[in-house]
Structures are given as structure tokens and as C-alpha cells.
Amino acid sequence: MANKKKKNFFSRKNILILSSILIVLLFIIIMITKKSKPDFDSQNAFKYLTEQTDFGPRNPGSEGHKKTKEYLVSKLNSFAGRVIEQNFVYHDKRDSLIKYNATNIIASFNLSPGKPGRIMLAAHWDTRPFADEEKDSANFYKPILGANDGASGVAVLLEIARLLKENPIDVGVDIVLFDLEDLGDNSKTYFSGTGNEYSIGSEYFVKNIGSYRPAYGILLDMVGDKNLRIAKEGNSNAVAPDIIEKIWSAAEKVKSSAFVNEIGGAVMDDHI
């Protein structure tokens, strides 16, 4: 069953979906900078995705997690002007003897002094340590591969990073890859406050960024679904309708079918 699911994800349609997200992000940058459109490579983005999944599950504490961190830092160092590893430790709320060494990875482009209004592009790079939404309960405690939930958003941002290196722009851009997004419990312990939370890395980032205040941020999560349909997320539409309009306007201009002009449900994720 696992191999069948993997085969269904690694298809030409998924390459086209990643391409669609890339085009929209690039068009937003073009609108801001007034520069010509760089040549994006959807096959390249898909390669970045499979290079992550080749490490296996990237749940905290695993060998795949360690190798993926090294891969991402190395890859971003080849593209960005500066890469910072924001290391932190999280203690498991269910077992006080367990702790996780985690890292948010921050890659910055165009660090020239006096450049106002930086843009933040983000995704999480860790994967869920258990498959609690599997139909077969025997698989509940197996870590997921995370091709869509984890690798897809990172893959798009790595291709954006490559393009930013080859096509410098006047606007500062920070690509932030969050760790420990998907550690949270889907259980009574989570809702009672005694279990592990979600979005741990992004919360740590926000509490430890000093004076950093981007003009706005765009978070990518689970953007590799083969039937991707992106509605206007409820929380984002409520607090940042102007940014939502900018993104959907860009999607309309490039004729992206993934973005639908309707209000979706409110999602609790790293952007909150």
C-alpha cells in the first residue's frame, strides 16, 4: 500500500502542480520588482522533492531528519547570501526523558543595507512521526514519508532560491524552513494541553527574531497534491486580505487552475 501511494504521488501531474505554485510566486516577485520573468524549472523542483524523500521519513530524531538538515543547509548555502541555523531544543510533553534537537533554517537574499520591506517565504521541512490518519490502525505509529506534507513546499522554495541567485532582485527575500511543525498529537492529550503542540519551530522563530518584521509572508504547506485546490484560507483572508488579493491576482494572470476564488476554512498552521 505504501508503494502504491508513493507511485500515485510521483507523477507528471504533481510536477505540473509544483510548476503552478512556482509560477504564481515568481509572478508576485515580478510585479514587485518590475523585472522580466526568469526561467523556472518544474523538473528541478520535483528533483528537490525526491532528493528529500530519498532520505526517508524526516521526523525529529531520525537519521532522515539529520541528513535532510545537512542537505538543506548545503543547498541553500549554494544559493543564498546568508544562511542561519536557528537551533533549539524541545522537550516531549508525553515523556520528560525525550528531547528533540531542532533547527529552523533561514536563507536570506539581497542583504544590502537600507532595503526596506523584506518578503518572507516559508515551509516546514520535518515530517509527521506517526501516520494517525491511516485507515489501517496497524500503521498509526509509523512515520510518514511526507512527499506532500513536508517536501513539496520546501522543493518549491529551493527552486525559488536557485532563481533568486541567478536573477538578483532589488527586494530582500528570506526563505525560512521551519522544524517541528508536525509533532503535535491528534489526541485528548493535545486538546487538554498535556500533549505535544504543532508549529513548534515557527513559534520559536517568532519569539526569537528580534526586530525582524517582513512586509508580509507566504507559507507553503502540502502544495504537491495531485488534485491541488487552494481556496482563500479563512484566517489569512481575515487578517491579510490585501496579501490574499495580491496572490490570487497573480494566479489569475498566469491562469493557475490550483487557486480557486472562494473562501476556505480556517487553518491552524505555521502562518498563525
Kindly report, residue by residue over 40-51, the tens digit of the pLDDT: 788 899 999 999
- What CATH number is given for 2-263 in this structure? 3.40.630.10
Identify each DSSP E strand in 116-172 by its residue range. 119-124
**The pLDDT of residue 114:** 62
The predicted-structure confidence for 180-214, as pLDDT tens digits, reads as follows 999 988 755 555 666 788 999 999 999 999 999 99
Q: How many CB atoms lie within 10 A of CB 237?
A: 17
Lowest mean pLDDT among 21-30, 44-53, 102-111: 21-30
Question: CA 133, CA 54: separation in Å to the nearest integer?
Answer: 23
User: φ, ψ for residue 34 (rounded to 5)?
Assistant: 65, 25
| CA separation, residue 161 to residues 50, 72, 140 (Å) | 17, 11, 35
Reported as a pLDDT band with limits 50, 70 and 90, residue 135 is confident
Q: Which residue has the higher pLDDT, 151 or 42?
A: 151
Query: Any idea what the Cα angle at residue 158 is, between residues 153 and 160, rounded to 5°?
Result: 95
Ordered by start, the domain boundaries in the chain are 2-263
**The pLDDT of residue 5:** 38
Predicted model pTM: 0.87
Question: CA 145, CA 128: separation in Å to the nearest integer?
Answer: 8
Average pLDDT of the chain to the nearest whole number: 85
| CA separation, residue 246 to residues 28, 46, 118, 216, 251 (Å) | 7, 26, 16, 11, 9
The predicted-structure confidence for 74-94, as pLDDT tens digits, reads as follows 999 999 999 999 999 999 988
Average pLDDT over residues 128-135: 86
Question: CA 142, CA 132: separation in Å to the nearest integer?
Answer: 9
* 59-89 exposure pattern, b = at least 16 Cβ within 10 A, e = fewer: bbebebbeebbebbbebbeebbbebbebebe
| CA separation, residue 203 to residues 122, 127, 230, 268, 272 (Å) | 13, 17, 24, 12, 9
